[in-house]
């Protein structure tokens, strides 16, 4: 993350890493870092880790949705990467859980959902995207 900061961006978030999650193999880790320069010229860095449960399905568009929500939440909370990431990852979990539930219902009991059935339920998740209940907490490192 420091190498990426050195290239210019104040905020860096790495998602879906292969690092071992302290909560276990059923979790993905996202790491974030926000660096800003204080009025006195000193640099301050906030680093966070977010662990979210893996979902046993392949979706299309999750990276785009994550990037859009992270941009929105960091704009709303410019000095609090922890809150921005908690809202982003929590909203993602709501969307994915709603999507998988709907896809399984469409596929029928015992059948694996197909890619069309796994289309993200973004319209149905509008309220969760706009104001997500925080179900995934970030850890300040």
In angstroms, the CA 72 to CA 49 distance is: 19
Strand order in the sheet with 27-37: 11-17, 27-37, 43-53, 138-140
- The residues annotated with a catalytic role in the active site are 64
Q: Residue written as tokens 């071992």?
A: 20
Could you say which DSSP state residue 67 is in? H
């Amino acid at each position: 993350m420091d190498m990426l900061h050195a290239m210019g961006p104040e905020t860096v978030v790495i998602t879906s890493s292969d690092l071992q999650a302290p909560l276990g193999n059923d979790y993905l880790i996202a790491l974030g870092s926000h660096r800003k320069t204080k009025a006195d010229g000193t640099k301050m860095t906030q680093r966070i880790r977010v662990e979210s449960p893996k979902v046993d399905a392949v979706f299309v568009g999750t990276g785009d949705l994550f990037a859009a929500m992270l941009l929105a939440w960091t704009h709303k909370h410019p000095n609090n990467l922890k809150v921005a990431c908690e809202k982003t990852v929590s909203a993602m979990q709501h969307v994915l859980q709603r999507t998988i539930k709907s896809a399984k219902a469409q596929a029928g009991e015992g059948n694996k959902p197909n890619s069309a059935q796994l289309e993200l339920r973004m319209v149905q998740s509008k309220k969760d995207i706009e104001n997500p209940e925080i179900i995934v907490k970030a850890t300040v490192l």
